Amino acid sequence: MNWYLKVLKQYADFSGRARRKEYWMFTLFNVIFLYGLLLTGAALDSTVLMILGGIYLFGVLIPSLAVGVRRMHDIGKSGWYILVNFIPLIGGIWFFILNITDSEAGPNKWGENPKTGGDEINSIGVE
């Protein structure tokens, strides 16, 4: 849950790097919350919960894009690689492969490797 909150605290931060764990934990909790709202709304036939699901989806759009861009930076690619999703059929597969790729060792032009930065999750919010 801390990884999810870390991404929300970096709401529109498109600079730096995001390791695999940060990206996939955010994606996991994002899917759980979204489907929880939508399925509960559908089961209870509640349009309010369905609307809340839509609002939630738009609320996490920017953090989702930001963590995706930082993930691309972590593997040494430009953030514009998130647009590969728009390529029919193969785009989603290619983006998935990029997201499961290990971090680029050492620093790159977007910053230090987050894996070697120490205890990152405990330093959230500490300046």
- Per-residue 3-state assignment (H helix, E strand, C coil) for the chain: CHHHHHHHHCCCCCCCCCCHHHHHHHHHHHHHHHHHHHHHHHHCCCHHHHHHHHHHHHHCHHHHHHHHHHHHHHCCCCHHHHHHHHCCCHHHHHHHHHHHCCCCCCCECCECCHHHCCCCHHHCCCC
Residue 77 lies in a domain: yes
The per-residue pLDDT for 121 is 58
The per-residue pLDDT for 127 is 46
Residue at token pair 């977007």:
110
Residue 120 lies in a domain: no
Of the two residues 100 and 51, the one the predictor is more confident about is 100
Residue 118 lies in a domain: no
For residues 91-120, give the mean pLDDT: 85
Q: What is the pTM of this model?
A: 0.82
CB of 81 closer than 8 Å to CB of 29: no
Range of the domain at 16: 2-108
CB of 68 closer than 8 Å to CB of 23: yes
For residues 40-62, give the mean pLDDT: 87
CB of 65 closer than 8 Å to CB of 37: no
Residue 45 lies in a domain: yes
Res. 125: pLDDT tops 70: no
Residue 125 lies in a domain: no
The structural domain count of the chain equals 1
